[in-house]
Structure 1
């Protein structure tokens, strides 16, 4: 039915165009092919050979290009400066058509074009729900169902199954679920469902902001944007996708999604907001900067339909709370200014209950209420109880336990009883995560880390608490020929995204990151999470571990604990209430190999120190020289002599020493690492039998004498063997098997 209507509209438009071409006597061509092009001869000095390069040159006079911004993008139009060329055709009656008639025909054609635009994409508005039976109860839009089917999301995750029924009914939702559980679509699908169910926006109408999603980090905001864009259309067999993996829509998008983050062009982001967007994903800092310059955007925030706080507990930390608090104030109802008046509180609560009971609709066809979503992986039980209390009964917000409690109590929940969905796993961590620890001195952490990376190759995410630690460790990893990429807040945004993409695409790569990578990032197939430095809070520790063991995958977490960090670790685990530091098993380490690796690490440190010293000296000299030139001063003879005379000699001496150290390190890296018990001359005469491992290619590539295994398996086997050794000799077979079962 829809297809026939669309074809009928196109036939009408074609007929209208033919009739108008017969009636019009004067036409101003606006198409590129209709412009009065003139062919020119090619200059002999153009440097282009006769049969290669340019085929011909053309030019057109008295034409200017005018760019027009519309809701669907920026388009070019051609206007004639001088006298426009005329195409004269006699009408059937031999007369000429008036300008009013031409205007009427153009208006009719524009009307038909708008009708076709409204019916464009009708082929995508149908979907067989039998293909996704588990999504059928939610009655989602066909475009969403097609996207879910294309991405093989056949079943909703637990948080989606719990949140979607209440969210689609318009209730406020506070969701707590483990990392990698699908929280983005849990709040994203209701937003997209609401917008897709509304009539399409015409190309010349500016879109009004309907949903604001606040995220703590730039990477998370861009990730949410790409996920939502991927849910909006299904490409055909020849249609390409954009850089984010989302299909490119033909013509204006059904739903406009934009990300506003720091580190990118603010001017370009302003142009995006001027055109209008439906869903805006932003970090608080950049959004507040744009709000300070754009009153129209602040006005749109007051009329929001959806407000989402993703990873809310992260945004209340230092440097985020001020901007977030200011943005949240813009979403409050005007009457909230008088919420200290008890009589007003009672009257407003009665008014709200009557509005909910009456179900008064606004001009968009929905209730004139803001729907709020708050999602996180950690949320205190006390806060959940506070949110369940009546919002208008004089709750003392200043007496709340934490800043997060204060923030959520400031949110203007339109729902008097927000839905609390707590799916956090028992024991805080998912069952597919295995944890281990290594106790060592702070100076030996580099050696133990190097051992683990060689022993268990894979995609490893190493967390450090300081940027200086990353800057010290990054060149060390490079000298040891490991593929390591830094990620911290002082890198440019393009470099941060580039390093993140490299880590995702390169196997056996390493990401050295601060806690900006601990929240919400969906990095596929992270094998190991290594806590090089112990975090200072339990929620950060939970979120760090959440980067692995995502979406029912197995994961491994390693704690590197120095003696001065034991007290911090005990306090951190005791606050979780589920683990004790003595219950985390120790990682098995081959001590004999550590001495060989220590020589490599110490040599790499010497090279890095020497290189850093040379760089610092050059930087100081260049700074001194530039400062003297700027102040029009002459440097003294001592500085000039050291720079021109002894300087090059000392530089050559440093270069030769560094080259010697690098050659020595290269020689050490080329030597094989052989475990104890293996004969270097005869591989069959050692204490360890490695012949079968070499034949079936199951040996470790960097350490001869070990099988190619993962850290989880070795940890379980180590625990099992330790329990067997501790078992009493008189213990029965059943008791021994019970001990080993506990280890697995």
Structure 2
């Protein structure tokens, strides 16, 4: 199947071709016709499956057709896309700009952590597609800077992460501002009972698609566990990066403090690193990601919330410095690598305290993850396990 068989116009097809996309991914093949038909949709799709194009391409097609019919030149807000994090919102916005470069369409991305005034000014000038995080969107609604009553299409992206971050009440507040007659699209990597309940309150007789097994890990990702004492994790990760000449490594820690501390320690070891998390300014997060993508820094240390939605092409290595407290987050973390048919490696450093989390992860992914060993880093058998403290991080809701 090719993109031109999906009913997209020549301007969109030209933009897709310039992005070097030749064949639609499975989710694009299934989602685009459903969205074009006007039906509601709930889709199970992990990051890296091409889901952003799965909803943005047909939205652009429908908007272009709508503009052709409306000769008055009015610019009411046509589509609203809600994303859980600043990084994901920015990534969606970049994609929409790429796909709409030959269309007379205005899109805007709004999120917290930056001044609200420039966003209000751009909204006054008229916007067709708005990509937003929930907190900042509600700020703009409160200031009467945005009118949601004209929305024709509403997209809730990464709904599972929205709920994890405590956005359920914000989402419900947004929905009360939307017109009752609209098309709804919901995307989620996992389908928990809470997600199903939320979908029932938003969607009307939706079509349902799933492009990967629930909680599955990509076949092109090679997974390993490396048992190690907690006090030697930093020494081991530094050794592995140096010995194996890894050039681009995304490392996950449980806490913001842990991310900062590890980035500082690795830099002292001669491995240039930066940390991203909710306490970093948007400018600092954007710069760290750009430096990582360009190779100016070798390691990016991130918390789960900050890393959600990161789109890094050809990322070869993910390291779980700390195992996540929620097993499903393991799938999201390692899904940063092995994307678009490229191979990747995911290595988890596991101390004795984390064996219960490892057991839960292996049960979820339905496999025993093979173990790596490194001479000189044998586990001390006299160390007793202590419970892992829960992270007290609170997500930034804007």
TM-score normalized by the length of structure 1: 0.49
Q: Is the 8 A contact 1:486 1:513 kept in 2?
A: yes
| Among candidates 376, 382, 387, match of residue 591 of structure 1 | 376
Instruction: After superposing the two structures, state which structure 1 stretch, 494-503 or 189-198, moved more.
Output: 189-198
| 1:331 matched to 2:178 | yes
Q: CA deviation at 1:158?
A: 0.7
Q: Is the 8 A contact 1:477 1:483 kept in 2?
A: yes
Aligned to 1:422: 210
Q: CA deviation at 1:233?
A: 2.2
| 1:533 matched to 2:312 | no
For residues 233 and 216 of structure 2, the distance between their equivalents in structure 1, rounded to whole angstroms, comes to: 27
Aligned to 1:494: 283
For residues 199 and 70 of structure 2, the distance between their equivalents in structure 1, rounded to whole angstroms, comes to: 37
| Shift in CA distance, 162/592, structure 1 to aligned 2, threshold 3 Å | closer
For residues 249 and 133 of structure 2, the distance between their equivalents in structure 1, rounded to whole angstroms, comes to: 27
For residues 533 and 143 of structure 1, the distance between their equivalents in structure 2, rounded to whole angstroms, comes to: 46
| Among candidates 108, 116, 135, match of residue 258 of structure 1 | 108
Aligned to 1:187: 55
C-alpha RMSD of matched pairs (Å): 2.3
1:452-491 to structure 2, matched below 5 A, reads: 452-456=240-244, 457-491=246-280
Q: Is the 8 A contact 2:151 2:179 kept in 1?
A: no
For residues 192 and 174 of structure 1, the distance between their equivalents in structure 2, rounded to whole angstroms, comes to: 19
For residues 121 and 3 of structure 2, the distance between their equivalents in structure 1, rounded to whole angstroms, comes to: 37
For residues 70 and 35 of structure 2, the distance between their equivalents in structure 1, rounded to whole angstroms, comes to: 28
| Among candidates 295, 303, 317, match of residue 150 of structure 2 | 303
Q: Deviations over 1:664-707 (max 9, x none)?
A: xxxxxxxxxxxxxxxxxxxxxxxxxxxxxxxxxxxxxxxxxxxx
Q: Is the 8 A contact 1:442 1:562 kept in 2?
A: yes
Q: CA deviation at 1:407?
A: 2.3
1:192-591 to structure 2, matched below 5 A, reads: 192-199=60-67, 205-233=73-101, 254-294=104-144, 297=146, 300-331=147-178, 333=180, 369-380=181-192, 401-402=193-194, 404-411=195-202, 413-414=203-204, 416=205, 418-425=206-213, 428-456=216-244, 457-506=246-295, 509-574=298-363, 576=364, 578-579=366-367, 583-591=368-376
1:79-118 to structure 2, matched below 5 A, reads: none
For residues 427 and 289 of structure 1, the distance between their equivalents in structure 2, rounded to whole angstroms, comes to: 34
For residues 278 and 230 of structure 2, the distance between their equivalents in structure 1, rounded to whole angstroms, comes to: 25
| Shift in CA distance, 230/577, structure 1 to aligned 2, threshold 3 Å | closer
2:42 is paired with a residue of what secondary structure?
strand
Q: CA deviation at 1:502?
A: 0.3
Structure having greater relative contact order (Cα 8 Å, sep ≥ 6)? 2
Q: How many residues align?
A: 378
For residues 219 and 553 of structure 1, the distance between their equivalents in structure 2, rounded to whole angstroms, comes to: 22
For residues 70 and 213 of structure 2, the distance between their equivalents in structure 1, rounded to whole angstroms, comes to: 46
For residues 362 and 175 of structure 2, the distance between their equivalents in structure 1, rounded to whole angstroms, comes to: 33
2:324 is paired with a residue of what secondary structure?
coil
Q: Is the 8 A contact 1:159 1:177 kept in 2?
A: yes
| Shift in CA distance, 331/140, structure 1 to aligned 2, threshold 3 Å | same
Unaligned residue ranges in structure 1 (runs of 5+): 1-132, 235-252, 334-368, 381-400, 595-744
Q: Is the 8 A contact 2:221 2:346 kept in 1?
A: yes
For residues 309 and 257 of structure 2, the distance between their equivalents in structure 1, rounded to whole angstroms, comes to: 24
1:199 is paired with a residue of what secondary structure?
helix
2:155 is paired with a residue of what secondary structure?
strand
Q: CA deviation at 1:448?
A: 1.1
Q: CA deviation at 1:408?
A: 2.0
2:164 is paired with a residue of what secondary structure?
coil
For residues 372 and 592 of structure 1, the distance between their equivalents in structure 2, rounded to whole angstroms, comes to: 52
Q: Is the 8 A contact 1:311 1:519 kept in 2?
A: no
Q: Is the 8 A contact 2:224 2:348 kept in 1?
A: yes
For residues 441 and 588 of structure 1, the distance between their equivalents in structure 2, rounded to whole angstroms, comes to: 12
For residues 69 and 273 of structure 2, the distance between their equivalents in structure 1, rounded to whole angstroms, comes to: 47
Q: Is the 8 A contact 1:530 1:560 kept in 2?
A: yes
For residues 505 and 286 of structure 1, the distance between their equivalents in structure 2, rounded to whole angstroms, comes to: 30
Q: CA deviation at 1:276?
A: 1.4
* Higher CA-based Rg: 1
Q: CA deviation at 1:292?
A: 1.1
For residues 202 and 419 of structure 1, the distance between their equivalents in structure 2, rounded to whole angstroms, comes to: 29
Unaligned residue ranges in structure 2 (runs of 5+): 380-398
Q: CA deviation at 1:138?
A: 1.6
For residues 90 and 236 of structure 2, the distance between their equivalents in structure 1, rounded to whole angstroms, comes to: 35
Q: Deviations over 1:593-651 (max 9, x none)?
A: 99xxxxxxxxxxxxxxxxxxxxxxxxxxxxxxxxxxxxxxxxxxxxxxxxxxxxxxxxx
Q: CA deviation at 1:520?
A: 2.5
For residues 302 and 538 of structure 1, the distance between their equivalents in structure 2, rounded to whole angstroms, comes to: 39
Q: Deviations over 1:277-311 (max 9, x none)?
A: 000000001111111111x62xx323311100111
| Shift in CA distance, 469/201, structure 1 to aligned 2, threshold 3 Å | farther
Q: Deviations over 1:575-602 (max 9, x none)?
A: x1512xxx211123132899xxxxxxxx
Aligned to 1:11: none
2:67 is paired with a residue of what secondary structure?
coil
| Among candidates 18, 21, 29, match of residue 161 of structure 1 | 29
For residues 508 and 425 of structure 1, the distance between their equivalents in structure 2, rounded to whole angstroms, comes to: 34
Normalized per residue, the structure richer in helix is 1
Q: CA deviation at 1:200?
A: 5.5
For residues 101 and 326 of structure 2, the distance between their equivalents in structure 1, rounded to whole angstroms, comes to: 41
| Shift in CA distance, 426/328, structure 1 to aligned 2, threshold 3 Å | closer
